[in-house]
Amino acid sequence: MAGVQSVVPRYLAGFNCIGGECPDTCCAGWDVTVDKAQFKKLRAAPDAAIERAVREHIKPVPGMPTELHAKIVLRPDKSCPMLDGAKLCSIQKRLGPAWLPRICNDFPRNYFYVGDHPEVFATFACPEAARLGLLAADAFAPAEVALPFPPGKPVPYRCGFKGTQDQHSDPLQRHFGRIRDFFWDTLRIREYSLSQRLLLLGLLARRLGGVAFLDDPSRRQIATQDRAMQTALVEYAGVLVDGSLRQLTPSRSAQEPESQLREALLRQSVLQGLTAVRMSAFTTANHPGFLQCVEQAFNGFGFDSEDAVGSAARFEAAERDWFGPYDRAHPHILENFLLNEIGGSFFPLGKEWHGIEREWMAIMVLYALVRFYLIGLAGFYREQFSGEHYVRLIQSVCRVISHNAGFLKQVHLELGKHGMDNLASIAILIRE
């Protein structure tokens, strides 16, 4: 069956689940829901062992809508009871992929709709998707693939919008493609440091958010919004071309030593505070890989709660001596992480529709945490620090943080405590 064609990042075209070889399993610790039609189908499976296992482990949840009709009850160790001794899914093995609950069949792919085009991104919570998507320099080159859905049938997308973009009343929707392309293209312009590119994009997000705030979609208003959007994109493209971005966003090394130290202390205290929030609030959902990465990262710069200045100095040294050299030699890894966050979160519209500035801040906080832990890991592994550590860390962060809406809400509260719930302050967390 030739499926619907879509252009996807190259890493997805080469993705295959590695099953029993996988260092993690997608279902461990997560809610695996089953829609009503699939539930009925599985209850009548032509395989006695599967049918018995389904009756025992997949239970309807009263009061839920049809698409969330039932749930797989995980084992006490949070693993899926449908996995066999070799960590392979017994439904897939005995009956084939058509029998899998949709969530299992799709994972790690998320489908979106932009106008009339289906799009796909994978979550890097899957170790194999993270490896392919992070380590290859050309992971985000476009590749055409056939999606596993027959033409003429709707692709079951997670979010998006249909129809011509120009018809929508929300200016972010009308300019969705242009905005996202601008963010993606800017991320690849390496004549500026990554933090300079991110700061520019933050300023642009704020400006575009102001345009979107004009929410009276009268005809005149629409024309005004469109002009304002286009002007902003043209002006920011000009900042990239004329080099003024360098004056706008000085690097840390251009600062006085005292303000460098102040920033280092603040950065460390905020990111350590966010880690503590994550650790204390969700202990039951913590992931062993994440806990190990965090422990190694804090050991990697000799974190000492009694010695903030010494900890900050050791952190700066780990960044200067171990993380910086490796990261500068492999700039595509963190760029790929950001490209995937933008695509996979449906930026700038996002899952929660908090507005473009908040959506960008959420990505920046995640990036700041990833970079913070990577610097610690580089200090821990020193000469052995490699791309595999990026994969392990980013996979576990995506697993426990990106998919945890509760934590991301708490992030804003924690930042608010430090008076840092704003773009200018987040710039401090990501400055190189």
Q: Does 134 bind ligand SF4 (CB under 6 A)?
A: no
| Nearest distance in Å: CB 157, ligand SF4 | 19
Q: Contact at 8 Å (CB) between 293 and 379? A: no
User: Would you say 106 or 263 has its CB closer to ligand SF4?
Assistant: 106
CB of 288 to ligand SF4, least distance (A): 15
Q: What's the CA gap between 16 and 19, in Å, rounded?
A: 9
Map residue 370 onto helix, strand or coil. Answer: helix
H or E stretch including 387?
Answer: helix 387-397
Give strand ranges (E) for 47-199.
58-60, 70-72, 109-114, 117-122, 142-146, 159-161
CB of 256 to ligand SF4, least distance (A): 47
Contact flag: residue 24 with ligand SF4 (CB under 6 A) = yes
Residue with tokens 């519209």: 349
Per CB under 6 A, 130 contacts ligand SF4? no
Based on the shown chain and the rule CB under 6 A, indicate whether residue 344 belongs to the binding site for ligand SF4.
no
- Name the strand (E) or helix (H) holding 33: strand 33-34
Residue 392 CA: distances (Å) to CA of 63, 104, 247, 344? 38, 22, 36, 19
Pick from 35, 119, 128, 319: which binds ligand SF4 (CB under 6 A)?
A: 128
Q: Give, in degrees to the nearest 5, the angle at Cα 356 between 354 and 358.
A: 55
Among 9, 101, 108, 376, binds ligand SF4 (CB under 6 A): 108
Residue 385 has phi, psi (to 5 degrees) of: -60, 130
Does position 17 interact with ligand SF4 (CB under 6 A)? The reply is: yes
| 107 counts as binding ligand SF4 under rule CB under 6 A | yes
| 100 near ligand SF4, judged by CB under 6 A | no
CB-count exposure of residue 27 (10 Å: 0-12, 13-18, 19+): buried
Task: List the beta strands (DSSP E) in 169-210.
Answer: none
141 contributes a contact to ligand SF4 by CB under 6 A:
no
Answer yes or no: are the C-beta atoms of 335 and 187 closer than 8 Å.
yes
Judged by beta carbon, residue 19 or residue 81, the one nearer ligand SF4 is 19
Tell me the window of 24-32, 140-148, 222-230, 410-418 that interacts with ligand SF4 (CB under 6 A). 24-32
393 contact partners, CB below 8 Å, separation of at least 6: 293, 297, 370, 373, 374, 377
- Residue 126 interacting with ligand SF4 (CB under 6 A): yes
Q: Decide if residue 18 touches ligand SF4 (CB under 6 A).
A: yes
397 binds ligand SF4 (CB under 6 A): no
Q: How far is the CB of 87 from ligand SF4 (least distance, A)?
A: 8
With CB under 6 A, what is the number of residues at the site for ligand SF4?
12
**Part of the chain binding ligand SF4 (CB under 6 A), chosen from 11-19, 68-76, 210-218, 376-384:** 11-19
Residues that bind ligand SF4 (CB under 6 A): 17-19, 22, 24-26, 107-108, 126-128
